[in-house]
Amino acid sequence: MPEVELRKRVVIVEEIFHEGGPVAEKPLCRAAALTVIRNPFAGRYVREIAGFMEDLNPLGLEMAKLLVEALGGEAKAIEGYGKGAIVGQYGELEHGALWHVPGGYGMREILGNAKAIVPSTKKVGGPGTRLDVPVTHINASYVRSHFDSMEVGIADAPRGDEILLALVMTTGPRVHARVGGLKASEIKGEDGLR
Amino acid sequence: MKSKIRKLVTFVEETRTEMGKTVTPPTRRAAAAAVIENPFAGRYVEDLSELMEIGEELGALLAERAVAALGISGPSAESYGKAALVGENGELEHAAAILHPKLGTPVRKVLGKGAALIPSSKKRGAPGVALDIPLGHKDAAFVRSHFDGMEIRVNDAPRANEILVAVAVTDSGRPLPRVGGLTKEQIKGEDGLR
């Protein structure tokens, strides 16, 4: 499979102190690592693309490391995660799907034993397109306080023959979480759901 | 602190290739942004000195954060810029009060020098509106390779009664500068222009 060619990398960190309510004891932090790569399959239909997933593994790992660093350097501080991709206009949605395995692999590798499925989203779009990356608890998808998302995007990407790959990590619940449901303290952590 | 900060966001961009050409070393720029309460939202207030003091505080905080995000020392920064986006219940003059009277001095203190005018932009807008921060060389405004800009946006800010304030810092100019003009090697650095 073709080599992974990086054009640009962007890291965004949000630190949220409150949202109109009491100031959080520990601010909620969200970070996104975005990498713009050349889409080796742009402009034509290529039947066999799956091999490229393996080529993306090192990138997934590197981006996951960047996120942990951006959030203070401690993997155990990470409580939520998500991933996504925006495929430039000469590509197809299926090219974005190539990110599922390597993106998830990278984060699991760095976070140790994360059990929950990594929520994801993807679309085809032009430069500046925004993507709302879904976020859930890393060990139990049903933890209601950790259902979250982070909007990401880059003004000049993805160009037509590029893919923008995204990973997101968060350090806690929504800043004023108060709609009940399964709590992080109640997780059994066996099936990745509860 | 005088500023009531709801949220802090940092952005780091690293460009590794442009038009297929490797950028060596990669160009890097960072922006740090604060979402603050606008103390004068919804009414006309003649004396804006509170916002000027907020600007002074934010100049130090945001410059420090932007430099830290690049992982460089202040004096190694090459260009800078500032901008503010006022929520719909505020006035453009509120942005001016934050940016122009007092924000620059603490920024220059963090960067060691800064003989040049800090290029700026301001506007009023809704949450998620893009803010283009102009960039120029910190010691000589005419360095052509460093005329640049950085787009940022925060999807949930500014709310109507908020202001988004940003400072951007780089360790480089554009990725592949080749339109001539004064180069950074030719800077005298006396008048802030050349």
SS3 of residue B128 by DSSP = coil
Domains annotated for chain B, with CATH where assigned, are 5-186 (3.30.1330.110)
Q: Which residues of A touch B16 (CB under 8 A)?
A: 6-9
Query: Is beta strand A28-38 parallel, antiparallel or unpaired with respect to A6-16?
Result: antiparallel
pLDDT under 50: residue ranges of chain B: none
> Is residue B110 left, alpha or beta, with left meaning phi > 0 and alpha meaning psi from -120 to 50?
alpha
Q: What is the mean pLDDT of residues A135-163?
A: 96
SS3 of residue A76 by DSSP = helix
Q: Per the CB < 8 Å rule, is B10 touching A12? A: yes
SS3 of residue A3 by DSSP = coil
Interface residues of B toward A, Cβ cutoff 8 Å, are: 5-18, 69, 128, 130, 151, 153-155
Res A33: pLDDT: 98
Q: Per the CB < 8 Å rule, is B8 touching A155? A: no
Q: Per the CB < 8 Å rule, is B6 touching A17? A: yes
Angle between helices B104-111 and B49-70 (to 10 degrees): 20
- Kindly report the number of other CB atoms within 10 A of residue A90's CB atom: 17
Residue A126 has pLDDT above 90, yes or no: yes
* Cβ atoms of B113 and B74 closer than 8 Å: no
Q: What is the mean pLDDT of residues A100-121?
A: 94
State how far the alpha carbon of B37 is from the alpha carbons of A18, B89, B99, in Å. Answer: 12, 11, 15
**pLDDT tier for residue A93 given thresholds of 50, 70 and 90:** very high
Q: What is the mean pLDDT of residues A35-48?
A: 96
What is the number of alpha carbons within 13 Å of residue B140 lying toward its C-beta? 16
Closest CA to A136 of A104, A109, A162, A159: A104
B131 CB burial (10 A radius; 0-12, 13-18, 19+): buried
Query: Is beta strand B162-170 parallel, antiparallel or unpaired with respect to B21-37?
Result: antiparallel
Res A2: pLDDT: 85
The mean pLDDT value of chain A amounts to 95
Q: What span, in angstroms and rounded, lies between the C-alpha atoms of A44 and B111?
A: 49
Q: What span, in angstroms and rounded, lies between the C-alpha atoms of B67 and A15?
A: 17
Instruction: Please spell the DSSP secondary structure of A89-112, one letter per residue.
Output: TTS-HHHHHTTHHHHHHHHHHHHS
> For B23-39, how does the pLDDT look when each residue is reduced to its tens digit (9 = 90+)?
999 999 999 999 999 99
Window from A35-44, A110-119, A156-165, B101-110 with minimum mean pLDDT: A110-119
Window from A64-73, A184-193, B129-138 with minimum mean pLDDT: A184-193
Q: What is the mean pLDDT of residues A42-63?
A: 96
- State residue B102 phi and psi, 5-degree precision: -130, -5
Res A135: pLDDT: 96
Res B117: pLDDT: 92
Q: Which residues of A touch B36 (CB under 8 A)?
A: none
CA angle A145/A151/A153 to nearest 5° reads: 155
Residue A1 has pLDDT above 90, yes or no: no
SS3 of residue A50 by DSSP = coil
Res B189: pLDDT: 83
Domain extent listing, chain A: 6-186
How many angstroms away from the CA of A86 is the closest CA of chain B?
17
Q: What span, in angstroms and rounded, lies between the C-alpha atoms of B121 and B82?
A: 7
Residue A16 has pLDDT above 90, yes or no: yes
Res A166: pLDDT: 98
Question: Any idea which residue has 């004891």 for tokens?
Answer: A25
Task: Give the pTM.
Answer: 0.89
Res B15: pLDDT: 97
Question: Any idea which residue has 């960039």 for tokens?
Answer: B135
Q: What span, in angstroms and rounded, lies between the C-alpha atoms of A119 and A193?
A: 12
Res A138: pLDDT: 97
CB-based contacts of A184: which residues, under 8 Å, 6+ apart?
A: A79, A137, A140, A143, A145, A146, A173
Residue A189 has pLDDT above 90, yes or no: no
- Interface mutation target, options A4, A11, A36, A159, chain B, most CBs of B under 10 Å: A11
> Which of B9, B14, B151 faces A12 most closely, judged by CB atoms?
B9
The class level of CATH for A6-186 reads alpha beta
The encoded tokens of residue A129 equal 């397109």
Res A4: pLDDT: 96
The encoded tokens of residue A18 equal 């409150």
